[in-house]
Amino acid sequence: MGRLTGGDPSLLRRINSAVVLHALRDAHTPSLTELVASTGLSRPTVEGVVEGLVASGLVVEAAHCPDETRKQGRPARRYRFHAESGHLLGIEIGVHQVHSVLTDLTGVTKCALGREVPEAADADERLAAIRTTVAELLRRAGVARSSLRAVGVGTPGIVEADGTIRLCTALPGWTGLPLGERLRRSFRCPVLVENDANVAAIAEHWKGVAEGSDDLVFVLAGLSPGAGSLIGGRLHRGFGGAAGEIGALHLLGHEATPELLLSTTGKPLDPLDENAVARVFRLAREGDPVARNAMDRFIRRLVHDVAALVLAIDPEIVVVGGWAAGLDGVLDPLRSQLTRYCLRPPKVALSALGSQAIATGALRLALDHVEEELFTVDSGAPAR
């Protein structure tokens, strides 16, 4: 049980600040008197805390409502949380593009910007593209870099807690890259790096098709599928951050890779050659029987991988995103096979956020970070 030990006045000040900020965010421009009532703190304490919050820029005095009248004296001062006193960035690093979104401290989007990156770009080129995109985004939004409070990043690969990429086969030169450390050189605020499917799961839970479902699997359906899952509303990273990396399942027993499954020649496709993959899909749509067979193999493999995730985790809902989610004939066989073979079949839904899912989830990481910093009191500690 967490309790105030009473020996740490700075902790007490932080707790009181968090309580007042909470009350400020939840009420419509409260007065000091209203804050005293809603927080249960003494008037001198509230006055001191509000003074400090105004000095820090997090709180501003609200303009007087013209129709507000008081029997005597001047109207009471009113305050509001200053959402524009800081900003947050969410960044998706993909195989073919970088995508970034800028919000205020409540997560309301101010500006978004994407940029294509050659799929063969090495780590330095990709990092340069990120820096250029962010600089342009801040310039367009008229926001100073110093105003950033946290940056969230979604990237393919297994990501360590410090933002180092332990393993990534999708981006050249990415394995072993200290991505968090490299990006922290560009920002004076915390940079949080997470696997792309993991943040997409967070995004669909936050404002996508899985709102209200605390147990979900997000499948990032690309050439080789990856997945992120929330269990009880919390991201399940796994013991080593590798949970959901289901793509390796077909390598066991030397089964075919997706590059081979999709081949119409018996030779594996080049996974970085998007045109080769697109050509198979086009041929299949046009009715080419060999390409159609290749597509069927590819979709069967995806269904098998998703079924493995569902049987292991038993989520309430499976959200399918990534480019392969848009293919004809993906969702229907997925639903029917899961219904047929899973002991408790989950709902299956297409991602609501689509190409925005990863940047949105990355942004949510940054928002969680500042909310924790600003609004959270040590769990179990009484607030007053």
Binding site for a second copy (CB under 8 A): 1-3, 158, 166-167, 215, 227, 229, 231, 236-246, 248-249, 251-253, 300, 303-304, 307-309, 311-316, 337, 341-344, 346, 377, 379-383
Nearer to a second copy, 26 or 116 (CB): 26
Report the C-alpha gap between 105 and 30 in whole angstroms: 19
Nearer to a second copy, 270 or 378 (CB): 378
- In the block, tokens 């909310």 appear at 371
* CA torsion through residues 125, 131, 133, 139, sign: negative
CA angle 179, 184, 189 (to 5 degrees): 135
Q: Return the axis-axis angle of helices 32-39 and 43-56, rounded to nearest 10°.
A: 110
Least distance to a second copy, CB of residue 256, Å: 13
Nearer to a second copy, 48 or 345 (CB): 345
Least distance to a second copy, CB of residue 313, Å: 6
Cβ proximity of 32 and 49 under 8 Å: no
- Which residue type does 132 have? T
Least distance to a second copy, CB of residue 232, Å: 9
Least distance to a second copy, CB of residue 234, Å: 9
Residue 220 buriedness (CB in 10 A; 0-12 / 13-18 / 19+): buried
- In the block, tokens 């995508």 appear at 99
Least distance to a second copy, CB of residue 25, Å: 17
Nearer to a second copy, 138 or 223 (CB): 223
Least distance to a second copy, CB of residue 305, Å: 8
Name the nearest CA neighbour of 231 among 212, 243, 217, 242. Answer: 217
Nearer to a second copy, 137 or 294 (CB): 294
Nearer to a second copy, 235 or 353 (CB): 235
Count of C-beta atoms within a 10 Å radius of residue 2: 10
* CA torsion through residues 258, 260, 264, 269, sign: positive
